[in-house]
Chain A
């Protein structure tokens, strides 16, 4: 209760910052830096003046956000599944990490945007390429964290599993994965925020839909309020994802938070 009240009270900074931003931009009068009221107006016109049946979202909003968010979530889930699967293998199969490490370090060092041309050739233009870019960019935090988490499973837990002769499946499902879950979630959270960035990047190059494409379009039509509206939108999406993720994490890992509090 007290923490919640504090959380709300801390929000005083938001209106103060907005008012300051408004004042500064109005005084400066630069076309590249429109005041927030103008940005809000543009945001409303573009996306939030729709009918109630669409939760006030305009058709334009649905057509822009839909493909973007769909790709983002799909890519994040693919990266999560692959990252956990490979991470478990790397963390638990002795010696495998030594072989795989040089290759992984090499791949990890490649900036995903630079791979767009290669993915183009492989997957042709469109959704598959964008998915590939995002997956390739966001798999690493999950992979690395899962590997670490699986490697660091307490010996006591594994010895118990051995003495009571758990099946291989039970060891994985009921001992290793739960023990590594806090780390896996940390990785997933990082990769979610990365996925948002890479979604935009992947849509800036060779795409004809989505938030990134729409941002590029606004920029090329010298609609600076529109550009800023996109930036604000991305910030809000980032906040929203993070909040949703923390709620999910709180449910899955309640034992972890509580165990740490008592130890």
Chain B
């Protein structure tokens, strides 16, 4: 459904991303990992139509993206600037639903449900500035999930929450998206997370960012925080991604393990 062709972007003369090629199928969960400053947010903003890339094209369902596409939700990295401080959490989550043609009662019910799922049903009436960073981040996730977009872009969405909440949110996101058939592009700098959440892990090189690895994640069954993470395949893949992120060329080690890079 999403295709990036030779996508590149310059800020002035500074090259942030360089010839990124990527194809994402409907319903796929793709994680993008890369070192800080390699252009991950730039990539996401190009897809969301918030910046006009200086080179290449973004295709959504075969059509080039011009402006913000329909049925898209973004969980911004900078969550504090994306929630409106003059509205309660509930109002923040339900505001985008106005587009969905729901009446006020239905909107609030849907928003309440989403807040409940991220564990914030008690904080619905709170304003963003009354919440911790992690809570704000969860409101912003709730807003995106309640919107039920076809394509969900998440920019380091679990950065400010504790480890356990993070695991819960990872599972929640996977569950909700699978249920609604959403496609997800999730940006993270956490190698572990990328392998756990993704159907595929795409690794970007350091600036200017370009794709240096595209690894399918083949792990059995529904993911489980404890069980999946102790699988040998998980550990191997994590090592592989870690190497790519650090810029170490992939190699087949003495045990014969290793993953083909595409």
Spell out A's residues near B (CB within 8 Å): 154-157, 159-160, 162-167, 170, 174-175, 178-179, 181, 255-256, 258-259, 262-263
Contacts and interface: CB of A to CB of B under 8 A. Distances in A.
Nearest to B74: A163
A157 B50 CA distance: 12
Contacts of A156: 76, 78, 81-82
A178 B129 CA distance: 15
Contact of A164 (B81, B86, B96, B127): B96
B129 A165 contact: no
A163 B84 contact: no
Contact of A157 (B70, B82, B98, B127): B82
Contacts of B85: 255-256, 259
10 contacts: A159-B50, A162-B67, A163-B50, A163-B74, A164-B96, A164-B99, A178-B86, A259-B85, A259-B128, A259-B129
B72 interface: yes
A14 B147 CA distance: 59
Give the top 5 A-B pairs by smallest Cβ distance, nearest first: A156-B81, A164-B96, A259-B129, A178-B86, A255-B86
B168 interface: no
Contact of A170 (B70, B72, B98, B127): B98
A178 B92 CA distance: 13
A163 B73 contact: yes
Contact of B96 (A166, A178, A179, A181): A166
Given A157-B81, A165-B99, A166-B99, A256 B86 contact: yes
A209 B21 CA distance: 77
Q: How large is the interface on B (under 10, 10 to 19, 20 to 34, 35 or more residues)?
A: 20 to 34
B127 A259 contact: yes
Question: Which of B49, B84, B86, B96 lies at the interface centre, i.e. has the most chain A CB atoms within 10 A of its CB?
Answer: B86
Given A160-B74, A165-B70, A167-B98, 10 more contacts: A157-B84, A159-B50, A163-B72, A164-B96, A164-B99, A166-B98, A174-B84, A175-B84, A178-B84, A263-B129
Contacts of B82: 156-157, 159-160
B61 interface: no
Contacts of B81: 154-157
Given A178-B84, A259-B85, A164 B73 contact: yes
B48 interface: yes
A164 B48 CA distance: 10
Contacts of B36: none
A174 B95 contact: yes
A159 B76 contact: yes
A171 to B, nearest CB: 11
Nearest to A156: B81
B116 interface: no
A191 to B, nearest CB: 23
B182 to A, nearest CB: 15
B68 interface: yes
B130 interface: yes
Contacts of B49: 162
Contact of A255 (B99, B129, B147): B129
A163 B130 contact: no
Interface in B73-114: 73-74, 76, 78, 81-82, 84-87, 95-96, 98-99
Given A156-B78, A157-B81, A255-B129, A162 B86 contact: no
Interface in B44-70: 48-50, 67-68, 70
Contacts of A170: 95, 98
A170 B96 CA distance: 10
A262 B130 contact: yes
A163 B48 contact: yes
A263 B68 CA distance: 31
Contacts of B147: 164
A207 to B, nearest CB: 42
Contacts of A175: 84
Nearest to B67: A162
A156 to B, nearest CB: 3
Contacts of B73: 163-164
Contacts of A174: 84, 87, 95
A258 B128 CA distance: 11
A178 B99 CA distance: 20
Question: Which of B70, B72, B78, B85 lies at the interface centre, i.e. has the most chain A CB atoms within 10 A of its CB?
Answer: B85
Contacts of A255: 85-86, 127, 129
A159 B77 CA distance: 12
Contacts of B74: 160, 163
A116 to B, nearest CB: 41
Contacts of B95: 164, 166, 170, 174
A12 B197 CA distance: 67
